[in-house]
């Protein structure tokens, strides 16, 4: 049985969500997509033509099905895939009800997030420098994401009315429609002002709701932002792969490394659980070990044994 076009489109958007919002590895993305496609085929066999049509009964039946016969590691992965799918569908307002309680994902070891060095961040932020609306928009987006630690979906969803320049605060609507207020640094404020002032005539013609828009006046998509950040990384001479979520991870890691309070970082990131934020302490520890190994003079001395 082949997937319907509606399921195919949803799976493609989910793939972008895994890569950009959750920062999953290539292998994990491939495995999750396979699991989610199996779930979609199961729903089609029940004459359900979209993820939005799934009810508690179908979800419970699917969980029972994957819990029979498979290895515990396979069951764990499939449950994790459906759990992350539920987060995506809730964020996209496709699932109106929260079925997360049905999907009791087993605890898994969290991967240490990949971050950019401070030097790489500076190179990346400096790249959009051409005197046109799109590069000024992209400069403002990069500055804001690194300065405030927004998720990609939150960044693309910023409305003009969400900004308070005087207080240097942005109103962010995060997962589950939870609203939080996040500080904006001076560099981000300056970049946004530069973008808005340069585009003032365009804004007057289009009357956009969203701050970051295309040259047609439409809301910028996550996919387009992802392509843009890869382009600027290439121009900046950053050789390893860069994904948008790495700026969010870098925001948290660099703040923590500079002595910021973990609870404050948790609130700025919009985490509901402190354990999620604590993963950045491992990143900071790894960075310290790497610095010690690379630069401490005692690590460079040759060891000589007495004869």
* Residues taking part in catalysis: 151, 175, 245, 248, 271, 280
CA distances (Å), 69 to each of 33, 73, 111, 257, in order?
A: 21, 12, 28, 46
What is the spatial distance between Cα 274 and Cα 130, in angstroms, rounded to a whole number?
40
What is the spatial distance between Cα 229 and Cα 224, in angstroms, rounded to a whole number?
9
240, burial (CB in 10 Å: exposed 0-12, middle 13-18, buried 19+): exposed
Would you state the structure tokens that stand for residue 203, as one six-digit string?
């804004």
Burial track 91-112 (b if 16+ CB lie within 10 A, e otherwise): beebbeeebeeebebeeeeeee
What is the spatial distance between Cα 124 and Cα 237, in angstroms, rounded to a whole number?
9
CA distances (Å), 295 to each of 144, 268, 298, 304, in order?
A: 32, 33, 9, 20
């Amino acid at each position: 049985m082949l997937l319907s076009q509606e399921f195919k489109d949803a799976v493609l958007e989910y793939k972008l969500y895994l890569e950009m919002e959750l920062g999953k590895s290539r292998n994990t993305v491939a495995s999750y997509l396979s699991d989610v496609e199996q779930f979609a085929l199961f729903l089609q066999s029940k004459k359900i033509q979209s993820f939005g049509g799934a009810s508690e009964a179908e979800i419970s039946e699917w969980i029972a099905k994957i819990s029979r016969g498979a290895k515990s590691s396979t069951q764990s992965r499939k449950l994790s895939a459906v759990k992350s799918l539920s987060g995506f569908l809730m964020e996209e307002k496709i699932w109106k009800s929260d079925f997360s309680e049905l999907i009791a994902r087993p605890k898994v070891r969290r991967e240490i997030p990949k971050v950019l060095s401070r030097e790489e961040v500076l190179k990346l932020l400096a790249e959009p420098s051409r005197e046109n609306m799109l590069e000024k928009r992209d400069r403002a987006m990069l500055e804001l994401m690194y300065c405030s630690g927004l998720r990609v979906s939150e960044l693309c969803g910023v409305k003009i009315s969400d900004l308070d320049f005087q207080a240097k605060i942005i109103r962010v609507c995060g997962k589950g429609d939870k609203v939080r207020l996040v500080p904006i640094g001076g560099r981000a404020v300056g970049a946004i002002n530069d973008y808005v002032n340069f585009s003032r005539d365009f804004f007057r013609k289009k009357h956009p709701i969203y701050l970051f828009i295309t040259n047609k006046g439409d809301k910028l998509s996550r996919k387009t932002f992802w392509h843009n950040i890869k382009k600027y990384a290439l121009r900046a001479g950053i050789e390893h792969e860069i994904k948008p979520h790495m700026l969010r991870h870098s925001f948290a890691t660099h703040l923590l490394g500079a002595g910021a309070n973990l609870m404050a970082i948790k609130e700025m990131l919009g985490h509901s659980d402190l354990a999620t934020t604590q993963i950045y302490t491992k990143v900071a520890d790894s960075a310290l070990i790497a610095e010690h190994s690379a630069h401490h003079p005692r690590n460079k001395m040759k060891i000589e044994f007495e004869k």
